[in-house]
Amino acid sequence: MVHILFHEPRIAGNTGNTIRLAAVTGARLHLVEPLGFDFEDAKLRRAGLDYHDLADLTIHPTIEHAFAALEGCRVFAFTGHSSMGYQEIQYRDDDVLLFGCEPTGLPDDVMAHPRVTARLRIPMLPARRSLNLANAASIAVYEAWRQQGFAGAV
């Protein structure tokens, strides 16, 4: 199943919800420090409920460490600054779905990194700022999983 990569996430509840997403889909979650919370945060625990032990979670000190750990994988950066839709990709099970932090998205240096295969957009109505981070990750993960025939699902 795909990798979800959050670059410097700030909101505990979003990461908690994504831990749950990873647990129920088999996606692997990677977080790049610094994090805007700690793992004792009540919102993180509440959102992730008892799924923490069922999720494959790795924390990386930098984006370079994350990319090194995911060597050979295609990296798709999700942004509002692209015309290519997320549904236009034929996903592979080792693809990386890269998302930026909640207040600002991905920084320019990460968007321009040579490891980024393509920039993808999730459509939404005009004059809206952004989707919730956990919701955006869910949309992308389920599209990738759907393309793989929901392998392993009941």
Tens-place pLDDT, residues 81-120: 999 999 999 999 999 999 999 989 999 999 999 999 999 9
CATH no. for 3-147: 3.40.1280.10
Structure tokens at 62: 């930098």
Cα 127 to chain centroid distance, Å, stands at 24
Q: Is the pLDDT of residue 50 over 90?
A: no
Helices (H), 4-71: 12-25, 42-48, 63-69
Quote the CA–CA distance of 5 and 67 in Å, as a whole number. 10
Tens-place pLDDT, residues 117-142: 999 999 999 998 889 999 999 999 99
Quote the CA–CA distance of 50 and 24 in Å, as a whole number. 12
